[in-house]
């Protein structure tokens, strides 16, 4: 692979070197080799970005919504124009199949910009008349300088899900993508400049969590933080922000139950469960990593689930026939292998996969590959069924009653998402109301309407993204009360 263009920080509308002149290797997961470099920035670079964002804020926050909307719509159009380039960059950077980046990640990034570009044209302000006394109206104003920190699994999809509402609402932003997958964030900068986004509205500082993420979260002038990543890091972000009374949104990990009742449409349940188990190599916080099947359907489901899963092709992410690409990093691959080993110690039986496959081709002989893996017979509350693996590994467990499976589903430190497969409408409503997750999909998975609240409870995070939740998060409500 030819060495890709060097990534630079984007500050005040210009591409700049990191102050310290240091760079990190950016590894291609499919080959295990460096293919580009990413700025190893530090607090000095964050300071430059904050200064730029502060300078841009007065003008941008006063820019009419119609003008902000036009620029964000242009960004969406340019993302679509550059779809192939962005999809290829995302695939190379993350190891995900090019087909997945082309069909999911990049189109959703365009949708994120388009959604919030139009949402700000239709917001309503509340008014309350205190009869005979006063007239109240609620003004929602931009918060100011916001910090946006995003993870490596869906890089442009999740970063744009923060940038779009933040700047649509009139804030200016300092964003930090994961150091593992910086490329599409870098490519977005030229797109935003071409779309006419004023200098300093969006600033992107590349680098590690401790050297760049932490200074962003700790900066006195950054009063709002939107974070997506692991629960451990989420706690560090919360610890930093709490004493500074910052507004924080935390979108963290998940250990999502996928519940299949015997009365389900099993064809749909199996197709949907294979997808929810292994999409993006299982590296989606919404993946259904704990599969529960009603006992009377268990054997049949397992046989057909294994058969369909065995048809998934692990391969070079750039090849059109690939269903499963590479795991994002050597560290993440080791984490997946650790949990597969632990599963066997905890009594699990590997029904499919479980060990590193042969390299898909010469180019990828040192890549980070792991096959879709299915584990049976695990104790319900063992570590593998409680801890987030974030890889292509699921457990399948039978259950005997609705009450029992709801108890299994809720006996979890996370509460992000769940799926329920049943053709009994009453049961669907009854079970969905009792499961402690922020999203419950019934007879589907990853159906996403951008207007709905998105997020989790317990250790899956705090707050919600999407729709009005995002518009409210990135604005400050003010009650103005005028005496009669
Ligand atoms: O995420 P991190 P990692 C889970 C998954 C994964 C685990 C760790 O289980 O194995 O999290 O993954 C930045 N202050 N998810 O290590 O560390 C970091 O640079 C401020 C679920 O990749 O949480 C990156 O930009 N920022 C998740 C971002 O935080 C800090 C998706 C996320 O990195 C920081 C990804 C700090 N102290 C992983 N330390 C989901 N919910 O989708 C790091 N960062």
Residue of 296, 87, 301 whose CA lies nearest to 183: 87
In contact, 341 and 115? CB cutoff 8 Å: no
269 lines ligand 1 (CB under 6 A): no
pLDDT for 150-161, tens place per residue?
999 999 999 999
Q: What is the rounded average pLDDT of the residues 167-191?
A: 98
How far away, in angstroms, is 300 Cα from ligand 1 center? 38
Q: Which of 420, 419, 417, 452 is nearest to 437 (CA)?
A: 417
For residue 151, the ligand 1 atom closest to its alpha carbon is 32
- Written as six digits, the tokens of 39 are 């700025």
Residue 3 has pLDDT above 80, yes or no: no
Distances from the Cα of 234 to the Cαs of 111, 239, 249, 381, 470, in angstroms?
26, 9, 9, 24, 18
Q: What percent of the chain has pLDDT over 70?
A: 99
pLDDT of residue 88 exceeding 70, the answer is: yes
- The domain 9-252+460-483: what is its CATH number? 3.40.605.10
| Residue carrying structure tokens 């700025």 | 39
For the chain, what is the radius of gyration of the CA atoms?
Answer: 23
Fold adopted by 257-450: Aldehyde Dehydrogenase; Chain A, domain 2 (3.40.309)
Structural tokens at position 79? 């993302």
Instruction: Tell me the average pLDDT of the chain.
Output: 97
* Model confidence at 1: pLDDT above 60: no
Give me the active site residues, please: 251, 285
Q: Is the pLDDT of residue 71 over 90?
A: yes
- How many angstroms is it from 228 CA to the middle of ligand 1? 7
pLDDT above 90 for 220: yes
Ligand 1 atom having least distance to the Cα of 149: 25
Task: Kindly state the average pLDDT of the residues 69-85.
Answer: 98
Neighbours of 243 (CB within 10 A): 7
Distance 415 CA to ligand 1 centre (A): 18
Domain boundaries, the chain: 9-252+460-483, 257-450
Rounded to an integer, the average pLDDT of 381-390 is: 97
SS3 content of the chain, % helix, strand, coil (to 5): 40, 25, 35
Ligand 1, pocket-test mutation among 230, 370, 388, 413, most atoms within 8 A of CB: 230
Contacting residues for 151 by C-beta, under 8 A, at least 6 apart: 158, 178, 228, 229, 230
Question: What is the whole-number distance in angstroms between the Cα of residue 87 and the centre of ligand 1?
Answer: 22
Nearest CA to ligand 1 atom 26: 213
Q: Which residue reads 């139009």 in tokens?
A: 118
pTM metric for this prediction? 0.97
Whether the pLDDT of residue 268 is over 70: the answer is: yes
Q: Is the CB of 229 under 6 A from ligand 1?
A: yes
Helices (H), 179-314: 183-194, 214-218, 231-241, 266-278, 295-310
Task: Evaluate whether 270 touches 309 at the Cβ level (below 8 Å).
Answer: no
Task: Say what the pLDDT of residue 6 is.
Answer: 86
Residues 118-135: what's their mean pLDDT?
A: 97
Residues 263 and 89: their CA atoms lie apart, in Å, by 43
* pLDDT tens-digit series, residues 412-456: 999 999 999 999 999 999 999 999 999 999 999 999 999 999 999
pLDDT at 379 over 80: yes
pLDDT surpassing 70 at residue 5: no
Contact 23, 143 (CB under 8 A): no
Q: Rounded distance, CA 306 to CA 274, Å?
A: 9
pLDDT of residue 42: 98
Q: Among candidates 210, 212, 243, 238, which has minimal Cα distance to 225?
A: 238
Q: Could you tell me if the CB of 175 is within 6 A of ligand 1?
A: no
Q: Is the pLDDT of residue 2 over 60?
A: no
Q: Does the C-beta of 218 come closer than 6 Å to ligand 1?
A: no
Helical pair 106-119 and 183-194, crossing angle rounded to 10 deg: 40
What distances in angstroms separate CA 40 from CA 21, 23, 73, one per listed residue?
8, 5, 32
Contact 178 CB / ligand 1 (< 6 Å):
yes
Counting atoms of ligand 1 from 1, which one is nearest the CA of 208?
19
**How confident is the model over 172-198, as a mean pLDDT?**
98
Mean pLDDT across 291-296: 98
Q: Ligand 1 centroid vs 446 CA: distance in angstroms?
A: 21
> Does 237 contact ligand 1 (Cβ within 6 A)?
yes
Bridge partner residues of 70 (DSSP): none
| 179 C-beta closer than 6 A to ligand 1 | yes
């Amino acid at each position: 692979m030819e060495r890709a263009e060097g990534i630079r920080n984007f500050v005040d509308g210009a591409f700049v070197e990191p102050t310290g002149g240091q760079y990190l290797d950016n590894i291609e997961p499919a080959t295990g080799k460096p293919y580009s470099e990413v700025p190893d920035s530090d607090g000095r670079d964050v300071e430059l970005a904050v200064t730029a964002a502060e300078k841009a804020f007065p003008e941008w926050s006063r820019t009419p919504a119609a003008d902000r909307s036009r620029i964000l719509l242009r960004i969406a159009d340019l993302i679509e124009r550059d779809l192939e380039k962005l999809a290829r960059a995302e695939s190379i950077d993350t190891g995900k199949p090019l087909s997945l980046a082309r069909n999911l990640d990049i189109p959703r990034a365009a949708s994120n910009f388009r959604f919030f570009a139009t949402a700000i044209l239709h917001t309503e302000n509340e008014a309350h008349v205190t009869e005979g006394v006063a007239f109240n109206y609620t003004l929602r104003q931009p918060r100011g300088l916001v910090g946006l920190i995003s993870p490596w699994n869906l890089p442009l999809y999740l970063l744009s899900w923060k940038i779009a509402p933040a700047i649509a609402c009139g804030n200016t932003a300092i964003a930090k993508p994961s150091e593992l997958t910086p490329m599409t964030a870098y490519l977005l900068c030229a797109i935003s400049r071409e779309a006419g986004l004023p200098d300093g509205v969006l600033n992107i500082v590349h680098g590690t969590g401790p050297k760049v993420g932490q200074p962003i979260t700790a900066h006195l002038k950054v009063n709002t933080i939107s974070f997506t990543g692991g629960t451990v890091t989420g706690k560090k972000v919360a610890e930093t922000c709490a004493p500074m009374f910052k507004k924080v949104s935390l979108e963290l990990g998940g250990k999502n139950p996928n519940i299949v009742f015997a009365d389900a449409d099993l064809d749909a349940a199996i197709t949907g469960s294979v997808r929810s188990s292994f999409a993006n190599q299982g590296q989606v916080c919404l993946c259904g990593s704990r599969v529960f099947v009603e006992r009377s359907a268990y054997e049949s489901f397992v046989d057909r689930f294994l058969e369909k899963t065995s048809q998934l092709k692990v391969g070079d992410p750039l090849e059109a026939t690939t269903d499963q690409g590479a795991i994002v990093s050597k560290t993440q691959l080791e984490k997946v292998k650790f949990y597969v080993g632990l599963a066997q110690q905890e009594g699990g039986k590997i029904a499919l996969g479980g060990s590193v496959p042969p390299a898909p081709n010469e180019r990828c002989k040192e890549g980070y590959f792991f096959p879709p893996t299915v584990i049976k017979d695990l104790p319900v509350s063992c570590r593998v069924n409680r801890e987030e693996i974030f890889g292509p590994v699921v457990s399948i467990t039978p259950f005997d009653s609705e009450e029992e499976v709801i108890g299994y589903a809720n006996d979890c430190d996370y509460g992000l998402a769940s799926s329920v497969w049943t053709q009994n409408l009453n049961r669907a409503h009854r079970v969905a109301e009792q499961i402690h997750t922020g999203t419950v999909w019934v007879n589907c998975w990853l159906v996403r309407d951008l207007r709905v609240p998105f997020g989790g409870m317990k250790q899956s995070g705090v707050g919600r993204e999407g729709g009005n939740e995002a518009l409210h998060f990135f604005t400050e409500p003010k009650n103005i009360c005028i005496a009669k």
